[in-house]
Amino acid sequence: MPWPTCDGVLLPPMNTLPSSPASSIDAILTQLNTVILGKSGPIRLALACLLARGHLLVEDLPGVGKTTLAHALARTLGLQFQRIQFTSDLLPADILGVPVFSSERKCFEFHPGPIFSQLVLADEINRATPKSQSALLEAMEEQQVTIEGITRHLPVPFFVIATQNPQEQIGTFPLPESQMDRFLMRLHLGYPDAAAERALLRGQDRRELVETLPTQVDGSALLALQQQVTQIHVSDALLDYLQAIIAHTRQPGIYRMGLSPRAVLALLRAAQAWAMVDHRDHVLPEDIQAVLPPVAGHRLHLRESPGLAPEQVTRRLIEAVPVP
């Protein structure tokens, strides 16, 4: 296993590009849909998020399949998987790792934390202290960890799925808005519908099923897919539409804050990934509209009626901006 030790740098193994991105994507989606039933929409979004090199925040009740989704993604994409259960006594070192003195080699040997993994599930992130939260978020942002003056790169691809339970209030530390901005998307899984639930009840245990999943794409093929996302064509007409949306969010008096340039880039990247998942080599206004709720939902807040559901907020935004 290419695991960092004293020198601490991991290089991805070289591999060939997948022959056809469309077929690999289809294979991935088909496999994921067999594990998580009735959730094809969120699954597509989650995959788009990953392909856009963004991180995902899943906000939902326990037991709707967040962990299963993360696990299934890791298996299908051939990613190393680590899960960090966030608790109030979690320390940054528990996430990042610690240098330990090795009596054999007479030096401090770095014991990497669970963050040194290609897919990290940060479970119930809002239960940890802000200090631990920011340790994770900084690592997410910078794709590297600096401990005792030594910078160690995180593996590539690197994908974090954080979950939080919005219902829990006591003893939690809700993520501040500035930290929310680091997640490309925020998704809700929600309860499965009746048919899906019945299939779930009839079927195999999901965890066991996940263990048996074959890898559809390996790490380097995934990197190639991520690279291809940036090549998805963006026309001037589409940029006009995107900028009209941004301009609308920045009008005074509607939102507490308009979309930041980082959010705009995120929106475009997500739309590109969405177009790719949809087998297209160019972005359409439909793609923007599809990714707008998960990308902008946690970034926009109406000045009036702050209690409105995020879906409603983004719905209104879409309806307010005409498509050219």
Query: Which residues here bind another protein, judged by CB under 8 A?
Result: 233, 235, 237-238, 240, 281-286, 289, 318-324
Strands 119-123, 81-85: pairing is parallel
Residue corresponding to tokens 């941004």? 246
To the nearest whole angstrom, how small is the minimum distance from the Cβ of residue 323 to another protein?
5
307 vs 322, which CB is nearer to another protein?
Answer: 322
Q: What is each CA distance from 232 to 25, 65, 270, 280, in whole angstroms?
A: 15, 31, 11, 8
DSSP 8-state symbol, 308: S
Nearest one of 292, 297, 282, 281 to 20, comparing CA atoms = 281
Contacts by residues 85-88 (CB-CB < 8 Å, ≥ 24 positions apart): 85/123, 85/124, 86/122, 86/123, 86/124, 86/125, 86/126, 86/127, 86/128, 86/132, 86/133, 87/124, 87/127, 87/128, 88/127, 88/128, 88/129, 88/171
- Minimum separation from the CB atom of position 249 to another protein (A): 14
What span, in angstroms and rounded, lies between the C-alpha atoms of 246 and 259? 6
C-beta closer to another protein: residue 207 or 282? 282
- 8 A C-beta contact, residue 14 and residue 20: no
Q: Least distance from C-beta 247 to another protein, angstroms?
A: 13
Pick 63 or 322: Cβ nearer another protein: 322
Q: Which is nearer to another protein, 214 or 322 (CB)?
A: 322
> What is the 8-class DSSP label of residue 145?
E
| Number of neighbouring beta carbons within 10 Å of residue 70 | 27
Q: How far is the CB of 53 from another protein (least distance, A)?
A: 21
- Give min distance, CB of 57 to another protein, in A: 26
Closest separation in Å from C-beta 284 to another protein = 5
- The CB-of-188 to another protein minimum distance in angstroms stands at 22
Q: φ and ψ at 188, to 5 degrees?
A: -120, 135
Q: Which is nearer to another protein, 256 or 282 (CB)?
A: 282
184 or 284: CB nearest another protein: 284
Residue 280 CB, shortest distance to another protein, in Å, is 9
Enter the tokens of residue 227: 């690279």
> Which residue, 218 or 286, has its beta carbon nearer to another protein?
286
Neighbours of 82 (CB within 10 A): 17
Please say which residue, 119 or 284, places its beta carbon nearer to another protein. Answer: 284
